[in-house]
Amino acid sequence: MDGVYRVNAVLLNLGSFKICHCLTHACTVFQAGVHKVHAHRAFLAVFSDYFAALLGGGMNESAQSEVTLRDIDGESFARIIDFAYTGCITISQDTVESLLETANYLGVEQVMRACSTYLCDRLDFHNAVPVLKKADDLGLQSLVTKVQ
């Protein structure tokens, strides 16, 4: 069974901006794997410290209209950007690990917490060790503590 997590219904209005590509002059195209994702620079900079540093600092990407992100799962990246605009993310057994890794890389605490909740809700004798290892590898002490 999938888990659907919502943060704030007000964010649903922001989703319409992303869908219609409004304010395209303020957009950046992110290439992650085979996925190309359009998003608003200022919005992402507020959403995540990772994007604030990438787009607002002195990095080359801050002046680029298209940014390639390496070592990030494209599907998970696209879903996390959708989450940024809608406040809703669906997590399944097939996506939880990649979403957790990508959210951890991007510093998206809300998705990390949702993934941790999903894993804890489904914790059993058979998956406790792999979940503990993944949490430890990612430095997610709160999840490590819950699993133990």
**What is the predicted pLDDT for the residue at 95?**
95
CA distances in angstroms from 122 to 31, 63, 88, 115, 131, listed in the order given: 33, 43, 20, 11, 10
Q: What is the pLDDT of residues 136-146, one digit of tens each?
A: 788 878 777 87
Residue ranges of domains in the chain, CATH in brackets: 3-108 (3.30.710.10)
- Dist CA 25 CA 59 (whole Å): 20
DSSP SS3 for 67: strand
Question: What average pLDDT score do residues 79-96 get?
Answer: 93
Residue 13 in this model has a pLDDT that exceeds 50: no
Contact partners, residue 49, CB within 8 Å, separation at least 6 = 107
Structure tokens belonging to residue 124: 């059993």
* pTM reported for the whole predicted model: 0.77
Contact partners, residue 137, CB within 8 Å, separation at least 6 = none
Confidence of residue 147 (pLDDT cuts 50, 70, 90): confident
Q: What is the pLDDT of residues 37-56, one digit of tens each?
A: 999 888 888 889 898 888 88
Higher per-residue confidence, 91 vs 143 = 91
Residue 72 near residue 32, CB atoms below 8 Å: yes
